[in-house]
């Protein structure tokens, strides 16, 4: 298979980002991956201090400019993920979203965060656009009817890909189900996921990437156990999808303790999972990296700094842990005949949001400044094991 050519975009209005091993956006084939956009001037200085609506409007304006530069429009956006310094600001950001998306709204996952590049940034918004041919299809099953009041769809598909919103445990009217119960909510969310996939013409076998966000890191086991032991219990380990678990400050409503987002690839062939023994869960029903046999998108589970026996690597060393995480990503990509050069998007989650600088410094050892992946650094509240400083989640295109 011939690998996708990549185009990197970092406009002069974001020349601060051109000094980092990242790009404002990366186009690979039909997909355009846009890094988390914040309200900043060309030097990176935060703007619209304290005004979340103005910051959100600036972020969407930059997303619009990046899509236009790549030859598309906001109608081509199929996936949005927004990170909020204060979860109480989500509705204000959705208000701006209604100005941007009038119909056929994208999938949208909204999450609380600890912070990003600078403490003054109240919201960071990343997106994925599909710039190829084909009709955009946005669906919301009856079981999730309440989200129709928001500028999002339960799932949005175009071409070979479908993205779901972060699915949360609510009934059709938006009432929270089993408040505070991670396992019960996970089961509800997985059922809603199946409803959403069916509405979009997909099934669980088409999913190549899963990510769950938990309000409490101690809920990760419940979320993962429900997935591995119930949802995909019949699959061999070489047939499963990637799965990432991250603890964040909160979800849209009080009582929601999990949000689950999936990526589907409709390409031909079975899903192929690869893993390496230097991660402690390599024999579980979670792939290190997964793709469709004839597909181009590779979902990579969030990589962390522990070996196959759960020993923490580079304890207390942000750069050392980042270097190990990238080596793990390299390892699972090589199992698919790919490399770090094929990475198009990174979301790096940090227990201390200030650690993004040390991690990007390590990124300079891999990617040239201004021509790296679309990269969104986010402060999180928890990771799976005590001692982890980061979890690095990535997507690749081959």
pLDDT average, residue stretch 107-111 = 98
CA gap 164, 260 in Å, rounded: 8
pLDDT at position 3 is 79
pLDDT tens digits for range 303-340:
999 999 999 999 999 999 999 999 999 999 999 999 99
Contact 248, 380 (CB under 8 A): yes
pLDDT tens digits for range 241-273:
999 999 999 999 999 999 999 999 999 999 999
Residue 4 above 90 pLDDT? Answer: no
Give the mean pLDDT of the chain. Answer: 97
For residue 36, what pLDDT band results from cuts at 50, 70 and 90? very high
Instruction: Write out the H or E segment, with its range, that includes residue 334.
Output: helix 318-335
Residue 83 above 70 pLDDT? Answer: yes
For residue 1, what pLDDT band results from cuts at 50, 70 and 90? low
Closest by CA position to 39, among listed 116, 121, 125, 127? 121
pLDDT tens digits for range 137-158:
999 999 999 999 999 999 999 9
Strand duo 207-214 + 242-247: pairing? parallel
Orientation angle between helical segments 90-100 and 52-69, nearest 10 degrees: 40
Strand duo 31-37 + 25-28: pairing? antiparallel
How much of the chain, in percent, has pLDDT values that exceed 90? 98
CA gap 209, 220 in Å, rounded: 17
DSSP state at residue 267: -
């Amino acid at each position: 298979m011939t690998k996708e050519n990549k185009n990197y975009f970092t406009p002069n209005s974001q020349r601060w980002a051109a000094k980092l091993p990242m790009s404002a956006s990366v186009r690979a084939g039909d997909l355009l991956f846009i890094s988390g956009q914040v309200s900043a001037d060309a030097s990176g200085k935060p703007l619209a201090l304290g005004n979340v609506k103005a910051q959100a409007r600036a972020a969407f304006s930059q997303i619009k400019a990046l899509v236009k530069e790549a030859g598309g429009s906001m109608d081509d956006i199929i996936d949005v993920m927004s990170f909020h310094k204060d979860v109480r600001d989500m509705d204000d950001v959705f208000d701006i979203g209604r100005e941007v998306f009038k119909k056929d709204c994208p999938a949208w996952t909204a999450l609380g965060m600890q912070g990003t590049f600078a403490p003054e940034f109240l919201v960071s918004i990343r997106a994925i656009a599909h710039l190829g041919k084909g009709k955009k299809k946005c669906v919301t099953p009856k079981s999730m009817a309440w989200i129709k009041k928001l500028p999002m769809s339960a799932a949005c598909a175009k071409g070979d890909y479908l993205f779901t919103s972060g699915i949360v445990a609510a009934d059709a009217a938006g009432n929270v189900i089993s408040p505070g119960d991670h396992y019960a909510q996970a089961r509800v969310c997985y059922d809603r996921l199946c409803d959403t996939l069916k509405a979009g013409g997909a099934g669980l076998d088409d999913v190549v990437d899963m990510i769950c966000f938990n309000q409490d890191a101690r809920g990760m086991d419940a979320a993962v156990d429900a997935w591995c032991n119930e949802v995909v219990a019949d699959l061999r380990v070489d047939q499963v999808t990637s799965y990432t678990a991250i603890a964040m400050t909160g979800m849209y409503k009080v009582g929601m303790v999990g949000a689950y987002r999936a990526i589907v690839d409709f390409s031909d062939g079975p899903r192929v999972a690869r893993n390496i023994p230097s991660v402690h869960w390599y024999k579980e029903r979670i792939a290190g990296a997964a793709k469709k046999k004839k597909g181009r998108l590779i979902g990579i589970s969030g990589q962390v700094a522990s070996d196959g026996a759960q020993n923490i690597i580079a304890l207390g060393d942000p750069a050392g842990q980042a270097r190990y995480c990238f080596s793990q990503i390299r390892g699972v990509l090589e199992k698919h005949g790919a490399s770090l050069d094929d990475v198009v998007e990174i979301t790096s989650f940090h227990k201390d949001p200030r650690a993004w600088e040390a991690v990007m410094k390590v990124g300079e050892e891999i990617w040239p400044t201004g021509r790296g992946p679309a990269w969104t650094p986010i402060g999180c509240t928890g990771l799976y094991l005590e001692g982890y400083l980061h979890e690095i989640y990535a997507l690749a295109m081959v």
